[in-house]
Amino acid sequence: MNAIQIKKILKEHDLQLNKRLGQNFLIDNNILDKIIITANLSKQDTVLEIGSGLGTLTKELAQKAKKVITIEKDKKLTEILKQELKDYENVELIEADILRSDLCKGRTSKLKDYKVVSNLPYYITSPVIRMLLESDNPPQEMILMVQKEVAQRICAKPPKMNLLAVATQFYANPKIIFSVSKNSFWPRPKIDSAIIKIEVRHQQMSDLEKDSIKKFFQVVKAGFSSPRKQLANNLYTKLSIPREQIKKALAECGLPHQARAENLSVENWQKLIKEINA
């Protein structure tokens, strides 16, 4: 679907784009094809799409997968989608806010071995990724279009780690697959995008108790509370862990006592917390 076709559909339905919802439509068919190739779908796959837009990606997913559940928040877009997707019997359209709807959570909790393939509305990227990874029924993998800067943050390595990177890499292996020019969208956004693939480590999650995960992130969040400060100072200030105890634990992990949170990988954090609790 190109810009002219999109404008025509919007005009026919007297629909104004909502900037607050980050409505930028993909108009580059080459990028669309690359997303489908990356998703590597089969007729056994169930796909969850978040942010249906005008159904361009939805239709391609429906041709490759067994079942597509697509969620759209915008009521006016949903009315258009009912017409656009009426011939696709394997598509289930849900009008809802993925972050607030019990219907969405109840629906996804019953899915088995599903994938998420989405051109995510950028303003909900981080909370959606966290919600899916932390759920009792996470997807097998996620193929997501996100802002390029966010993709780089998610896939960061020391010494450029951040809270979103740790939160994602604790549960999964993220990887940037390819970049997408801002010219591939209409209206054109201000920045480029990227496609990332997030492969969830299901076996790890089944072996971890929720309480230990909660404690892990309690320490990590404290560590990133003041990114410019040394880790020992942050953990002392937020959690009252003695500085010398932290420095000793850092040394046991082979890390300098002046280390900052951005210097630690997920594995470093796990070992550090184990040493602190020893």
Residue 205 has what pLDDT? 52
Segment 118-130, tens digit of pLDDT = 999 888 999 999 9
What is the per-residue pLDDT for 20? 66
Q: Domains of the chain by range and CATH?
A: 3-206 (3.40.50.150), 210-276 (1.10.8.100)
Residue type, 152: Q
- The neighbouring-strand residues paired with 116 are 48, 142
- In this prediction, residue 115 carries a pLDDT of 98
Per-residue DSSP letters for 199-259? EE-HHHHHTS-HHHHHHHHHHHHHHTSSTTS-HHHHHHHHH---HHHHHHHHHHTT--TT-
Q: How far from the centroid of its chain's Cα atoms is residue 109's Cα?
A: 17
* DSSP 8-state assignment for residue 145: E
- Measured from the Cβ of residue 237, the count of other Cβ atoms closer than 10 Å reads 14
* Residues facing 66 on adjacent strands: none
- Contact of 17 with 10, CB cutoff 8 Å: yes
Q: How many C-beta atoms lie closer than 10 Å to residue 6's C-beta? A: 19
- For the chain, residues with pLDDT lower than 50 are none
Own/partner contacts of 129-133, CB < 8 Å, gap of 24 or more, are 129/154, 129/164, 129/167, 129/168, 129/198, 130/167, 130/168, 131/98, 131/99, 133/167, 133/168, 133/171, 133/172, 133/198, 133/200
CA atoms within 13 A on the CB side of 13: 19
Nearest to 198 by CA among 263, 128, 265: 128
pLDDT of residue 204: 55
Q: What is the pLDDT of residues 51-83, one digit of tens each?
A: 999 999 999 999 999 999 999 999 999 999 999
